[in-house]
Amino acid sequence: MEWPACLDEFRSRMNTPRVVIDNAVCPTATLVKLDSARKHGVLLEAVQVLSDLDLSINKGYISSDGRWFMDVFHVTDHLGRKLADDSVISYIEHSLSPCAAPRSAATALDGLTALELTGTDRPGLLSEVFAVLADLCCAVVEAKVWTHNGRIAALIFVRDEDSGTPIDDPHRIRRVEARLRHVLKGDHDVRGAKTAAVPSPSLTHSDRRLHQLMFADRDYERVSSAETASSSSSQPSVSVQNWIERGYSIVNIQCGDRPKLLFDIVCTLTDMDYVVFHGTIDTNADRAHQEFYIRHLDGSPISSEAERQRVIQCLQAAIERRASELIPLVGESQGLRLELHTVDRRGLLADVTRTFRENGLSVTRADVSTKGQMATNVFYVTDAAGHPADPKMIDSVIERIGVESLKVNDDRPRPICKTSPAGRHEAAAGGGAALLYLGSLVKRNLYNLGLIRSCS
């Protein structure tokens, strides 16, 4: 039902937007409720704030009513507990409020030069990239590297090694880009490598930008039918159907639960120019089930089989890019997490990644950060074939780099089991009341539209 203009204006002035954070209603989670005028990307902004705080979204309800929307999220911290830190709660309220300043992806990275890289992945490639940057006197301050389906995407923030100033000389930038492009191409590049230097303030959220780079590089395309067949058993289950009577396309996703899963999915749908009108998010032990009712920006559903298949492939790729954060399954390698914490120095990353390469390790993901004089880096590694690394390889690497600096950390965030008899009874007693209290409008809208049969 369309609101008359005067009522729309009144509602906007009185209620835009409203954030409610409730710790009292649900015994197992903190409820975050946001309702406001609907606009493209606002759902992603809310999920991004929660994900950046490393919060788990265990349940969620998304509902749109004309020009209005309501989101209700059940969130816990990384230990599965309700939010108790007042500063975290205040940050969420401020970040989602109308007076919040636009969030810059590179506020802390101003004064740095951002390098965007995509190309064909191969063992030892990251070592070569960091070696080139060290040779060109580019100090790496921050970096994020993802690999998926034989492709690599990286965001690397650098400054001049000697002066500590941004690298803004056009001739030097072109030289850096050319050298890196040459390394990325290698001898067997079939799609072409891309490098670009961009001002840090112009970048979007770093994880979102990595998704965009890999999407543009078409990492969602399987390189061979043999690979598709071999990996089909471990792929996330994604289905897309059209509901012609209502004009929606229904996206159903079932996969292993992990941190930032909802962000990766919503980010991909948003960047593919789809709008989520309704949705439900649920987790059961280590499994996640998410369902979304989407349309194009122009209000139309998915219109062809080719588009449907593309959506499925892109969502599967978005989920798999962070596969190293999944709980390892029997016979499935997700990468061993190595944490490096040491005093920063010239050529540190080049030396460390060269040591990995010389000992037969391949980096599948990396997060590099430097604060003051200290470097804190995280690497996910496998052997050169993508299988679990031999413990002897790991011991050799640790011995060479230093036992005080490099440590194995396989204590990855684990989804909290939510299906124990006691927990289920507790959730039924308190969680149902919470949804009735804060999610009644959401459930009512979904039921009235015939979009869900049960919210439990």
Q: What is the pLDDT averaged over residues 135-143?
A: 96
The first and second tokens of residue 152, run together, are 């690599």
Same domain assignment for residues 182 and 240: no
Domain extent for 176 = 108-199+329-408
pLDDT mean over 185-204: 78
Q: Is residue 266 part of a domain?
A: yes
Q: What's the pLDDT score for residue 38?
A: 74
Average pLDDT, the chain: 83
Higher pLDDT among residues 38 and 396, named by residue: 396
Q: Is residue 186 part of a domain?
A: yes
Task: Give the total number of structural domains in the chain.
Answer: 2
What angle is formed at CA 303 by the lines to CA 300 and CA 307, rounded to 5 degrees? 120
Give yes or no: residues 424 and 316 share one domain: yes
* Claim to verify: residue 374 and residue 429 sit in the same structural domain: no
Tokens for 294, please give them: 């989407």
- pLDDT band at 329, cuts 50/70/90? very low
- Sheet-wide strand order for 68-76: 18-22, 30-37, 68-76, 56-65, 274-284, 287-296, 248-256, 237-243
Encoding tokens for residue 407? 């440590």
257 with 307, same domain: the answer is: yes
Whether 38 maps to a domain, the answer reads yes
Over the stretch 372-391, which tens digit does the pLDDT of each residue have?
Answer: 899 999 999 999 988 999 99
Answer yes or no: are the C-beta atoms of 234 and 256 closer than 8 Å: no
Same domain, 9 and 95: yes
For residues 376 and 393, membership in a common domain is answered with: yes
The residues, ordered by sequence, that sit 6+ positions from 43 with a Cβ below 8 Å of its Cβ are 62, 69, 71, 266, 270, 276
Percentage, residues of the chain above pLDDT 70: 77
Given pLDDT bands bounded at 50, 70 and 90, which one contains residue 41?
confident
Band of pLDDT at residue 333, cut at 50, 70 and 90: very low
Same domain, yes or no, for 423 and 318? yes
Q: What is the pLDDT of residues 264-309, one digit of tens each?
A: 999 999 999 999 999 999 999 889 999 999 999 999 999 999 999 9
- Inside any domain, residue 454: no
Report the pLDDT value the prediction gives residue 334, as an integer from 0 to 100. Answer: 60
Residue 368: give its domain's CATH number. 3.30.70.260
Beta-bridged to residue 296, according to DSSP, are 274
Do the domain assignments include residue 206?
no
Q: What is the C-alpha separation between 98 and 93, in angstroms, rounded?
A: 10
Question: Is residue 215, in this structure, part of any structural domain at all?
Answer: no
Q: Are 138 and 48 members of one domain? A: no
Q: In the Cβ-directed half-sphere of 49, how many Cα atoms lie within 13 Å?
A: 23
pLDDT above 80 (res 320): yes
Tell which residue, 110, 105, 119, has the closest CA to residue 195.
Answer: 119
Residue, of 226 and 128, whose pLDDT is higher: 128
- The pLDDT assigned to 331 comes to 34
Provide the pLDDT confidence category of residue 8 given band limits of 50, 70 and 90. low
**pLDDT confidence of residue 198:** 85
The encoded tokens of residue 281 equal 């998010």
pLDDT of residue 376: 96
> pLDDT-based confidence at 67, cuts 50/70/90?
confident
Q: Would 207 be classed as within a structural domain? A: no
Same domain, 307 and 342: no
d(CA 151, CA 218) in angstroms, rounded, equals 9
DSSP code, position 325: G
* One domain, residues 301 and 334: no
Average pLDDT over residues 414-425: 42
**In the structure, how many helices (H) and strands (E) does the chain have?**
13, 16
**Phi first, then psi: what are they for 264, rounded to 5°?**
-60, -40
DSSP code for 297: T
| 219-264 confidence digits (pLDDT tens) | 999 765 444 444 555 689 999 999 999 999 999 999 999 999 999 9
* Least confident among 106-110, 143-147, 277-281, 395-399: 106-110
The pLDDT of residue 152 is: 95
- pLDDT bin (cut points 50, 70, 90) of residue 203 is confident
Residue 201: pLDDT band (50, 70, 90) is low
Cβ(194)–Cβ(177) below 8 Å: no
Residue 315 — φ and ψ, nearest 5°?
-70, -40
Task: Quote the CA–CA distance of 322 and 310 in Å, as a whole number.
Answer: 19
